[in-house]
A and B are shown apart, each in its own frame.
Chain A
Amino acid sequence: MTAVNLKEAVVAQHSREASPILQQILQNRYTGALLSLLIVGTIVAVTQPVFLTWPNLMNIVKSNSVVFVLAVGATFVVIAGAIDLSVASATAACAMVLGLLLVAGAPAYAAIPAAVAFGAFLGAINGTLISYFKISFFVVTLGSLSMFQSFALIANDGASISVFSSPGFAPIGAFVNGNIGPVPVMLIFDLALLLIAGGVLRYTAFGRALFAIGANTEAARLNGIDVKRMMLIVFIIAGLMAGLGSVIQVGRLTSASADIDPTLLLTVLAAVLIGGTAYTGGEGGVFGTMIGVLFLGVIQNGLTLSGVSSFWQGMVSGLILILAVWLGGLRQFMRRRKQAKVG
């Protein structure tokens, strides 16, 4: 070992010992999002005392459940290195199927699985075209974005379907808007979904395969992972989540709307990216996605409470999305530099 090397090794050793906990926190994938959530939460809490009340907090949870459910599906897709642009359209299409079934008198136990299955079917269309017809995910989901949207409009000639008086709606309403004691059913549902999705990503061969595919598709394939089948499953999951999302949406609106919320897709993707899932694939998780959803939800809530026009919300969340991804890149850059020095 030359003198220079020795000196550097000592320096590296020293800097590593200096503040290992701080270093770890700074390099953690979730730190940025969590810190931002805390800062924004504090600002809103100080300026708007109503913010920290239980009903308001639960309102944030309930009104962001659709976004959360879709974002969980989108997290799987983004980890595997793709993007599903059709989720919002698929949600509207599923909502129309659900609405038509409910109006036709179908009971909830039949209508809900049907809507979810329809979502899975739409996802399977995407996945099949991408995996087995080898068309780019961007092109396929851009096309299906438009087709699913169109389907939603065709289904009832562009009109919304009010399901409030349908007999099958009551259980849906109870599920989406109900409480168990002070705790909304939606909160329990969201947490259960978080645990299941997190567990699948972390503790199953399927989850591991997704990270591998997102990190290096060719390496995954050469090591025996059936990339095509995995990508098909990923898009089916995204479709399933769109189906679930549609049930929650219909429950909250008491009607199935053929018009797609124009900000839904962007909010879902923004939540995933703000939550630290890399858009280049191979990195991320649903816990971060949850923070991303809460973060955007708190900002929206804060702006509403302080009476700022809702027109400003897109400006704020867009800016934050860009900032978050930039900071994520910066973190990676700093980590690489540090590693280069150590090496």
Chain B
Amino acid sequence: MSETVARESQAEARPSDRGSPSLVRVEGIFKNFPGVRALNDVSLTIRSGEVHALTGENGSGKSTLSRIIAGMMKPDEGRIFVDGKECTFDSPSAALGMGIVMISQELTLAPTLTVAENIFLGRLPRTRLGIVDWSRLEADAASALERLDIHVSPHARVGDLSVELRQEVEIARALSANARLLILDEATSSLSEAATARLLERVRQERDAGMAILMITHRMPEIYEVASVATVLRDGNLVATVPLPSTTESQLVRLMVGREISDFYGKRSIQAGNQVIRIRDLHTPAGALRPTSLDVRRGEIVGIAGLVGSGKSEFGLALGGAIECVGEVEVEGRPVRLGDPRSSIEAGIGLVPDDRKSSALLLVRSVMENFSLAWIDRLSRAGVLDTRRERLDVQGAIKRYRVATASAGVSIATLSGGNQQKVVLGRTFMRQPSVLVLSEPTRGIDIGAKSEIYRMLQDAAEGGAAVIVISSELPELLGVCDRIAVFFEGRLEAEFGRDEATEEAIAHVAVAGARNKQRVVNRSEDRQ
């Protein structure tokens, strides 16, 4: 009881009461994409001087909603009010005119232009003759950078800067545009811990100065550090808008997931057999992946964690033969020729790449052709297809992997993301590979499909495959893997057994490496 009181008084101490005026309000937003309802009647109020966390699992509609508020996308239905007046944004610049600025996970800077040009992109100062006023541009940019304490030259080419500095430039651009609402879309996902702390400090300053901030993230510590209200989306529906910190973390997670985690992953205990794949010093010539060694046994599910750019996705691509690489890979004692997808497939490695649209789906073709693509060589004799067997095989696969589709003949684009992913996984499983490499296997799909995919990959492990799951979602790795390897700066930095793996321990290695682990832990103790 006394705890509740303390929390409430803390909430009151924040400058942002729910009583402050509404800056932006969206009402009844609907948005459909082919095969998926992204937003279903979502309403939200964002107030000045308040950090509003927008959270939910991947694919819950967070990014879609923020893109609609930022004018980058039009809703199918629904209304947007700014300062109580209804607005229709048909472009990001219209939203910008209302003081709404978005910083997204993919940075939107022009890499070939200078820092100064990027800060004032689209609103370069001009002389009376209408040509760019370079000296004023430079002076304005320099003063904006100084005010924000960002140490970078206005002349520097953005493409030459580190990811973190680019983000700072992006923030400088947002703030110098007289932003009233700043939308941060997973802005910390590619930042180191120190840079994240700096960003959160800046968010706090701007909040106290009266800016409204909509923060899209699923990192709990960040939410609790700065936000005073959180809205949870699940599968495009608004689940709840709750005050913080009076809502506990586990309550919030339950709202996000909508069910208990334990039965969600359905982790089975599978007896590991003998070693199937032996990886030694696998690396890419350019250094995105530094020499990495790993062994995986039959029936084992090994997770690979790490930030964007840690080398974890290159590791998967290298195993699948999708990129040039050097090193030794043996499957069941036989060496694999690297850098060629066909020799990886023949060796028994099945790769499911992370980007479904760009590297897995034939979007204009049928479900059947998308399925049989993986074993088309086995369906043809002397180059001629056995279309009858193809149809039977695919119908069997649709049943076995529970793909919800009207028929095998319809375009794969008619399926939901989850069912598309089941096709991609299923076709890889059909060859019964002895090693499965799955990169972000549940990215952008709904909760129900996720659960089925966890079931599918455990079925494969039970059937004797060695499974490697590469994922940015720690909860899923913790939920299904027997051990977890963490990548940092291109290297396999640390390995955790199922019993010792915690979200915190893995995250620390992922953002700071194993050497810094001790220091990071100490600092978090200081904070408490």
Contact = CB atoms under 8 A, between A and B. Distances in A.
Contact of B365 (A225, A282, A339, A343): A282
Nearest to B317: A222
Contacts of B33: 340, 343
B362 A216 contact: yes
A210 to B, nearest CB: 11
Interface string A214-241: 0110111111111000000000000000
A223 B36 contact: no
Contact of B320 (A222, A226, A342): A222
A205 B376 contact: yes
B414 interface: yes
A204 B387 CA distance: 9
A341 B32 contact: yes
Give the size category of A's interface with B.
Answer: 20 to 34
B35 interface: yes
A209 interface: yes
B380 interface: yes
Interface in B403-442: 411, 413-414, 416, 427
B365 A215 contact: yes
A336 B363 CA distance: 12
Contacts of A283: 364-365
Contacts of A133: none
Contacts of B220: none
Interface of A is mostly: helix
Contact of B414 (A203, A208, A212, A342): A342
B12 interface: no
Interface string B37-61: 1001100000000000000000000
B384 A224 contact: no
Nearest to B381: A205
A221 B33 CA distance: 28
- Identify which of B36, B373, B413 gathers the most chain A CB atoms within 10 Å of its CB: B373
Interface in A189-223: 203-206, 208-209, 211-212, 215-216, 218-223
Which of A4, A220, A340 has the largest number of chain B CB atoms within 10 A?
A340
A222 B414 contact: no
B376 A211 contact: no
Contact of A223 (B37, B346, B373): B373
A282 B362 contact: yes
A283 B380 CA distance: 21
Contacts of A336: 34, 413
Interface string B335-361: 000000110011000010100001111
Contacts of A340: 32-35
A247 to B, nearest CB: 27
B331 to A, nearest CB: 15
A226 B384 contact: no
Contacts of B374: 223-224
A218 B365 contact: no
B419 to A, nearest CB: 10
Given A208-B385, A340-B32, A215 B414 contact: no
A320 B500 CA distance: 68
A133 B382 CA distance: 29
Given A221-B341, A226-B342, A282-B364, A209 B32 contact: no
Contacts of A220: 362, 373
A317 B445 CA distance: 45
A93 interface: no
Given A204-B384, A212-B373, 6 more contacts: A203-B387, A211-B369, A215-B363, A222-B359, A343-B33, A343-B34
8 contacts: A208-B385, A212-B362, A215-B364, A219-B373, A223-B427, A225-B376, A339-B411, A343-B37
